[in-house]
């Protein structure tokens, strides 16, 4: 067992850390306040190869492994959690299903532009009646005169308002549950495709979260993604990767909260001494640091299982769920303690920890709630009985 990062992983860590410290962190509060999408950052991340981290160079990807990817999302999220999820949803939720289930032509056409960040991608799974129950999809797709015609509404779609390409699931055969679902690739310029309500959120305010509306949206027959009836499996496979991305985002937010708390505890003087001299503060710092380190091991291990192959589906699934569950709940606890260490200053926007706390909260919800992660882990551990 080797806990050392490879040269490439170390390089990605340093590159993303520098970018986060110099470019993301100084502007994160402003983006949080204005809810503006950070186009300038996304453009640069495309140039840095971070919009197609694990995909082969023949599709303009950076050809790295999943641990490098997790490190990239972690470091970027340290600087700006909104940017972290923009990168994660794009890489894990849109590019991944095209890469694993797409045809050669689809990969050439879509990945080449998505990997450079010229196009942004999103993932249309969730609907008003299909949240945790991902198979509850109501959107329909019918083949008419050589075209698929989609009708329905997706909601809570990360990158929804800015995406050029969406992969989305729809019912192609009614009455047979998850076996009647199929994935498709859509472009935002296609007839009948529009962006609906934009959500006003508690945190990750600079990321776009919207509805996608398909109103007799016509797409070419060849834009089916994977096989007819296998959409649910495409969704689950995709989420195994996505959950590692969100776990890495949670880890980055928690690390940012610990760094800020340790610095503040050494500077803030009360009763004639820095508050870091108090055992109550030291214990909080110790617990925060320990839980973050445990999260990091889980996240990198889950990423390593993705690199070793989605082949062992149960293993990739179980460890991705464990990493997301633990890292997101750690991020919640750590950011809560960070506000406590900052006291009144933690509750106001002059310091970043209230934002960290708001940003952390969603990591326990999207790409499967903590309850769904526990369900996946338990069914994986218990097997059939
Ligand atoms: N990979 C591939 N196939 C898988 C799989 C995986 N990880 N997990 C399950 N499957 C397959 C099973 O083999 C089974 O196939 P067969 O029917 O051929 O046997 C099929 O899928 C059904 O499996 P289960 O019976 O285990 O499914 P279930 O209905 O009991 O449980 C669930 C499914 C785990 C609850 C699932 O619905 C789930 O993960 N729900 C949460 C959805 C979610 O995460 N939503 C988040 C939305 S995306 C988002 O937030 C995006 C964003 O913008 C940030």
> Residue ranges of the domains in the chain?
7-114, 121-231, 236-382
Tell me the C-alpha distance between 331 and 298, whole Å. 14
Tell me the C-alpha distance between 6 and 38, whole Å. 30
pLDDT recorded at residue 366:
98
Encode the chain (385 residues) as per-residue pLDDT tens digits: 889 999 999 999 999 999 999 999 999 999 999 999 999 999 999 999 999 999 999 999 999 999 999 999 999 999 999 999 999 999 999 999 999 999 999 999 999 999 999 999 999 999 999 999 999 999 999 999 999 999 999 999 999 999 999 999 999 999 999 999 999 999 999 999 999 999 999 999 999 999 999 999 999 999 999 999 999 999 999 999 999 999 999 999 999 999 999 999 999 999 999 999 999 999 999 999 999 999 999 999 999 999 887 667 788 999 999 999 999 999 999 999 999 999 999 999 999 999 999 999 999 999 999 999 999 999 999 987 7
Instruction: Give nearest CA residue, ligand 1 atom 25.
Output: 178
Instruction: Give nearest CA residue, ligand 1 atom 9.
Output: 236
Q: What is the 3-state secondary structure (H, E, C) of 71-136?
A: HHHHHHHHHCHHHHHHHHHHHHHHHHHHHHHCCHHHHHHHHHHHCCCCCCEEEECCECCECCCHHH
pLDDT recorded at residue 315:
87
Segment (H or E) for 165: strand 165-171
Cα 142 to Cα 67, 118, 219, distances in angstroms: 40, 31, 10
The dihedrals phi and psi of 103, each to the nearest 5 degrees, come to: -80, 170
Atom number in ligand 1 closest to CA 240: 7
Model-level pTM?
0.97
pLDDT recorded at residue 299:
98
pLDDT recorded at residue 139:
98
- The rounded Å distance from CA 58 to ligand 1 centre is 31
Atom number in ligand 1 closest to CA 126: 47
CATH topology of domain 7-114: Butyryl-Coa Dehydrogenase, subunit A; domain 1 (1.10.540)
| Alpha helices (runs of H) in 173-278, residue ranges in sequence order | 231-267
Tell me the C-alpha distance between 194 and 50, whole Å. 27
- The rounded Å distance from CA 340 to ligand 1 centre is 37
pLDDT recorded at residue 313:
75
- The rounded Å distance from CA 245 to ligand 1 centre is 17
Atom number in ligand 1 closest to CA 133: 37
Other Cβ atoms less than 10 A from the Cβ of 162: the count is 20
pLDDT recorded at residue 286:
99
Atom number in ligand 1 closest to CA 239: 44
pLDDT recorded at residue 281:
98
Instruction: Give nearest CA residue, ligand 1 atom 8.
Output: 236
- The rounded Å distance from CA 235 to ligand 1 centre is 7
Instruction: Give nearest CA residue, ligand 1 atom 52.
Output: 158
- The rounded Å distance from CA 146 to ligand 1 centre is 30
pLDDT recorded at residue 227:
98
Residues 94, 166: contact at Cβ < 8 Å? yes
pLDDT recorded at residue 311:
60
Token pair recorded at residue 27: 């502007």
pLDDT recorded at residue 308:
87
- The rounded Å distance from CA 379 to ligand 1 centre is 12
- The rounded Å distance from CA 43 to ligand 1 centre is 33
The preferred substitution site among 233, 362, 376 for testing ligand 1, maximizing ligand atoms within 8 Å of CB, is 233
Is the domain spanning 236-382 CATH 2.60.40.10? The answer is no
The preferred substitution site among 133, 203, 236, 309 for testing ligand 1, maximizing ligand atoms within 8 Å of CB, is 236
CATH topology of domain 121-231: Butyryl-CoA Dehydrogenase, subunit A; domain 2 (2.40.110)
Atom number in ligand 1 closest to CA 179: 17
**Residues whose beta carbon lies within 6 Å of some atom of ligand 1:** 89, 93, 123, 125-126, 132, 134-135, 157-158, 178, 232-233, 236-237, 239-240, 313, 317, 366-368, 372, 375-376
- Summarised one tens digit per residue, pLDDT across range 223-232 is 999 999 999 9
State the catalytic residues. Answer: 367
pLDDT recorded at residue 314:
83
Atom number in ligand 1 closest to CA 233: 3
The preferred substitution site among 121, 134, 234, 382 for testing ligand 1, maximizing ligand atoms within 8 Å of CB, is 134
Instruction: Give nearest CA residue, ligand 1 atom 37.
Output: 134
């Amino acid at each position: 067992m080797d806990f050392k990062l490879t040269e490439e992983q170390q390089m990605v860590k340093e590159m993303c850390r520098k970018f986060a410290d110099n470019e993301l962190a100084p502007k994160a509060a402003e983006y949080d306040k204005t809810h503006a999408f950070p186009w300038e950052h996304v453009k640069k991340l495309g140039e840095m190869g971070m919009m197609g981290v694990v995909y082969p160079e023949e599709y303009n990807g950076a050809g790295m492994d999943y641990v490098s990817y997790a490190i990239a999302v972690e470091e970027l999220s340290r600087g700006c959690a909104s940017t972290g999820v923009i990168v994660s949803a794009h890489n894990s939720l849109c590019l991944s299903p095209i890469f694993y289930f797409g045809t050669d032509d689809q990969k050439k056409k879509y990945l080449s532009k998505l990997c450079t960040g010229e196009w942004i991608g999103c993932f249309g799974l969730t609907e008003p009646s299909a949240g945790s129950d991902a198979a509850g999809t109501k959107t329909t797709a019918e083949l008419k005169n050589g075209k698929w015609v989609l009708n329905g509404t997706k909601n809570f779609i990360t990158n929804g308002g800015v995406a050029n390409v969406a992969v989305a699931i729809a019912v192609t055969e009614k009455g047979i549950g998850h076996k009647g679902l199929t994935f498709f690739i859509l472009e935002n310029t296609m007839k009948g495709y529009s962006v609906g309500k934009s959500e006003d959120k508690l945190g990750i305010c600079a990321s776009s979260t919207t509805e996608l509306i398909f109103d007799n949206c016509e797409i070419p027959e060849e834009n089916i993604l994977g096989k007819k009836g296998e959409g649910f499996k495409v969704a689950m496979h995709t989420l195994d990767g996505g959950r590692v991305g969100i776990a890495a985002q949670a880890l980055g937010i928690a690390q940012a909260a610990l760094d800020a708390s340790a610095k503040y505890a050494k500077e803030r003087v009360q009763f004639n001494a820095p508050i870091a001299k108090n055992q109550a503060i030291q214990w909080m710092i110790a617990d925060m640091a320990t839980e973050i380190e445990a999260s990091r091991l889980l996240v990198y291990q889950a990423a390593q299982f993705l690199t070793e192959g989605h082949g062992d589906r149960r293993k990739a699934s179980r460890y991705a769920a464990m990493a997301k569950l633990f890292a997101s709940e750690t991020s919640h606890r750590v950011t809560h303690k960070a506000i406590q260490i900052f006291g009144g200053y933690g509750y106001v926007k002059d310091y970043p920890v209230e934002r960290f706390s708001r940003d952390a909260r969603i990591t326990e919800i999207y790409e499967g709630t903590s309850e769904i992660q526990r369900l996946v882990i338990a069914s994986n551990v218990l097997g059939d009985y």
